[in-house]
Structure formats: structure tokens, C-alpha cells
Amino acid sequence: MSYFFSLSSGQTKSASTNASLVICHDYRNYSVWSPLLLLIPLFPCYNTVMADLFTELENQNKQIPLAEAIRPKTLEEFLGQSNVIAPNSPLLNLLQTNRLFSMIFWGTPGCGKTTLARLIATKTNANFIEISAVTSGVKDIKEAVENAKMALRNGTKTILFIDEIHRYSKTQQDALLPHLENGTLFLIGSTTENPSFQVVPALLSRAQVIRLNPIDDESMFKIIKRGLAYLVQQYVPMDCEKGVFDFIINLARGDARSALNITENAYFASDLVDGRRNLTVKIIEEICQKRNTMYSQQEHYDCASAFQKSLRGSDPDAAIYYLAKMIAAGEDPRFIARRLITCAAEDVGNADPMAFNLAVNAYKAVELLGLPEGRIPLAQAVIYVARAKKSNETICAIDAALSDIAHGKDYPPPMHLRDAHYKDAAKYGFGEGYVYSHSNPDYEQQFLPDELVGKKYTR
């Protein structure tokens, strides 16, 4: 079959004709239909026609990932984040009144940041513009603002969703400020990094940071079940071996996208016999190249706790075992190293300062080497910290001082210690009577506030 133009009934081939392309199944054969491109300028709508044509061809050939295919369409279908969108939660109550506000979703990959942003737009009937900070800039923000202004003329609010917002520079983030300030649009940013360090203060003051947790095991079970049900409905039935769900949950570690990717790949990799698939743990092990270990989300916290307590209790053998268990289960080695640094400061402290240095260097080594080589400097630091002399003076001192301040003992420094490096300081008596300690090390002077003279935080 050849390619041809199909004209509306009763119309002639003129400049005002609306034409649509009808193509046969072998549209990939460019040499067959490319001559028709010469005819397209006869029609004023040819750009739109071709854009629609190519978009349709692209959509027909896309392999839509399972995670996208079963993405929730309503907030009621959304699983996980019960701390944020549970019934009668503040966020849900605001959305039910169609009240929008700017927010930044901070959470691990696959916890539902993008999905939740889209559902909020749907719930509030808002115009939704989605861009990525990786591929966009100030120009895209300006275009979004113009789009939002047009929507406002039709009585519609606009949500600008910026994925990976922490990748924007200060200038790019600042470009959002006036438009958030005057209500032209509302921002929903998503980030895997701590916004306190990656987002400029001016933007943080205009947006509410909402912490999203990794998907809990119960919700993850339902998500995987929903994914398999979709695959069975679209393709062929399947049998599922006991332990498959738990294994996928352990591998995904709170990342719903990862869980659904594993589910989809395992489904199509499973044996097909008499029109029925058989999904087993072994198939998933071979695909992911990881053994099935007992390591649920609860086990993640249990092992981290046992690891740190073994270090604190000076048992290097137990600490090494829990280190191995976490590595074997696919734990992020940077998480392990952070626990190690915390223990070195909290439980060893100044009794052996080298422990802290070794723990920090183990973290850097893990970032440089990755696994499996990173296991060696981690193990070295673990053994050292476990065997080091222990002291909790550091954590006790800072917590005692913080407790005093939290309970009302929040006092100003003595007058002679206050900053005297500006013109009017002397007029207020700031810095008067201060003695430079290096010039007179034997001179005794007061450093604590007047109300806390004699207070001891260290020992």
C-alpha cells in the first residue's frame, strides 16, 4: 500500500484545505513516503499535521514503563506518604478547599514526588507545567510565567513543577521569586537533596518544605500487586512463587519506581509454558544479580541500630558482621559510613580523635571507590572505631547546653565578649574590658553568661 493524502469529503485541494495523512503499516520506509514532503507546503496546516503525525508515530512505538502505565490518576489511588496525605491531614484539607501554596517535596528517588505533584494539580483543577532543572533555565521559567498569566485570564491557577530543583543555580532560583510573591503561579519543586543546603533562603521562605518518606513495605506490596495485575490483564496469566514480593521489596528499598521496573523485567523474563508465566525468586536473583537476603525496611533500621551499638560496645566482630549484612543486602555504603562517623564522634569523641578522622576518610574512600573495593576502607574504620577507647562527653555536653537553652536559659554573652568591630560598639560598652588571651594567658575572665557562671557542661 502506498502513502497518500486523504481530503475531507467535498473539498478540493486548495490553500484552505485541512489535510490529514493516512499511512500504511510500513511507515518506517522513509524512501516510500518522503516525496510527499514536497506536497505538504500546499497546505497552510502542514506543520501541525506533520507534528501530529510524528507524535503519533512516536507514541505508537514507545515502550511505556510499567511505573508510568499504572501511575495513580487520583489522590485516593496514591499509596505511601500517609503522613502527608492521610484523611484529615493538613495538606489534604487545604487541597479540598482548592487552596494552593508553593512547596518543595524532599525525598528519596521513587517515593512519589512527581506523581503527588500531578495529582495535586488534578485535584485543584490547576494548569500544570512540568520542567526539569537539568534541561531548563530562566527562559523556560519566563515562558511558564506567560503561560500562567494567560491561564489566570481564564480563571485558572498554575502549578509550575520543577524536577531536581536543587540543580538550579542561585540566579535561576531567584528568577522564580517575584512570580511566587505576587501569586502569578505556585511552585512545586522536587529534590533528593536537603533543601536547606541546596535551595536559596529567599525561595525557602516562600515555599513549604514537605518531607516524603521512602515507600513503606505495606504500600510497596500493594504497588507491586497492582503492577502484576496490570501485566496479567494486558498479557498472559502468571503464577508467582512465595517470597517474590518480599524479595522485590527488599531490593527496592522504598523506591516504587525501582520495584515496578524489577517487577516488569521479571515478568517478561519468567518462563512461559502453555500460555502462563511462572515468576520465581531465582529469576529475579539472576536479573538483579543479587541474592535473596532477609532485609526488609525494618531490618534496615534494626541492622543500623545493631551496627552502631556493636561499635559503641567495643565488639569489632559483631560490627563487622552487621557491616557485611548491610553490604550484602545492597545498603548504600554512604549511609553506613555516615553511621560510622556519627559513632566516632558520639561514642569515641576526644578519647581517640583519630577514630573520627578515619571514619570521615572511609566515607571519602567509599565515594571514590564505590563497591566492592569500598568495603575494605569501611571495614578498616569499623575495626578501629570498635576497638578505640570510648567517651560520650561530646554528645552529653552539647545536649546539656541545648537542653538549657530550650528550657529558657537563653542568655546573651557578657558585655566584654560582644562584637566591637563597628563604629558605635564602644558607645554601648561592647568589648570593653576584654583581654586578648594570647597576650595574657594567665588572666582570668568570665566567658559564660552572667546567669550561668560556674556551669559545667564538660567533664
Question: How does DSSP assign 13-82, residue by residue?
Answer: SSTT--EEEE--TTTT-HHHHGGGGGTGGGSTTHHHHHHHHHHHHHHHH----HHHHT--SSGGG--S-H
Q: What is the mean pLDDT of the chain?
A: 85
More confident residue, 56 or 259: 259
User: Are residues 393 and 349 in contact, defined by beta-carbon separation less than 8 angstroms?
Assistant: yes
Least confident piece of the model among 36-50, 285-299, 311-325: 36-50
Tell me the HSE value of 205 on the side-chain side, using a 13 A CA sphere. Answer: 7
In the predicted structure, residue 21 carries a pLDDT above the cut 50 = no
User: Are residues 165 and 172 in contact, defined by beta-carbon separation less than 8 angstroms?
Assistant: no
Question: What mean pLDDT comes out for the span 280-284?
Answer: 91
Output the CA torsion sign for 200, 206, 207, 209.
Answer: positive
Q: How far apart are alpha carbons 292 and 447 in whole angstroms?
A: 58
∠ CA 366-369-371, nearest 5°, is 75
Phi-psi region of 243 (alpha: psi -120 to 50; beta: other; left: phi over 0): left
Where would I find the H helices in 100-253?
A: 113-123, 138-153, 170-174, 177-181, 195-198, 201-204, 217-234, 244-252
Residue 156's closest CA among 134, 186, 180? 186
pLDDT at 374: 92
**Residue 186, beta-bridge partner list:** 159
User: Are residues 386 and 311 in contact, defined by beta-carbon separation less than 8 angstroms?
Assistant: yes
For 341, phi then psi, to 5°, come to -60, -45
Least confident piece of the model among 203-207, 321-325, 374-378, 424-428: 424-428
Structure confidence at residue 301 as a pLDDT band (50, 70, 90): confident
For 382, phi then psi, to 5°, come to -60, -45
User: Are residues 117 and 85 in contact, defined by beta-carbon separation less than 8 angstroms?
Assistant: no
Structure confidence at residue 251 as a pLDDT band (50, 70, 90): confident
Q: What is the pTM of this model?
A: 0.61
Q: How far apart are alpha carbons 363 and 370 in whole angstroms?
A: 10
pLDDT at 398: 94
In the predicted structure, residue 3 carries a pLDDT above the cut 50 = no
Question: What mean pLDDT comes out for the span 335-358?
Answer: 95
Q: Tens digit of pLDDT for each residue in 128-142?
A: 999 999 999 999 999
pLDDT at 297: 63
Output the CA torsion sign for 117, 119, 124, 129.
Answer: positive
Phi-psi region of 142 (alpha: psi -120 to 50; beta: other; left: phi over 0): alpha
Structure confidence at residue 41 as a pLDDT band (50, 70, 90): low
Question: What mean pLDDT comes out for the span 216-235?
Answer: 94
Question: What mean pLDDT comes out for the span 421-442?
Answer: 84
User: Are residues 294 and 302 in contact, defined by beta-carbon separation less than 8 angstroms?
Assistant: no
